[in-house]
Amino acid sequence: MDHLWTPWRMAYIRGEKQPAEGCIFCQLGAAEDDRAQVIARSQWVYVTLNLYPYNNGHLMIIPYEHVDTPEKLPAETLTDLALTTNRALAALRRAYNPPAFNLGANLGAAAGAGIAEHYHFHIVPRWPGDSNFMTTIGHTRVIPDSLDNIYRDLKAAWESLYADGASGSK
């Protein structure tokens, strides 16, 4: 019998993790080290791993500006978000070759936004059969790799694609 161990999730499930002071997305955007698991930065947005992913390679694109809806973002940020989304799709294809993606945002807590006060955009790679009995019956997602490995793979894919500066990095 195989066992699925995800001990890092228990503190989250129990609600034991205390929220950080201030906005976690603002803090991640300002961080300058790899512990933040930021894949790439551009002038207006950054790309990071979702710490509670729906699937392997689940990314978020987050504006540096602290707003709760894209309606409050200037055109430059919205354009950068769209271009960065395309770059993230290319990096995910290079690293994991998913045949499909879910793209979108949850605006407001009632829509499922875990951090409703800071708008963010999700990219979720999808594979046939990735929703299985574990999700349906056990209410548990199976992520086949660690966040550290995913970060390493996607960072390398991004850098190989955009080493010439095409990423718009800060």
List residues with catalytic annotation.
120
What tokens were used for 82?
């769209």
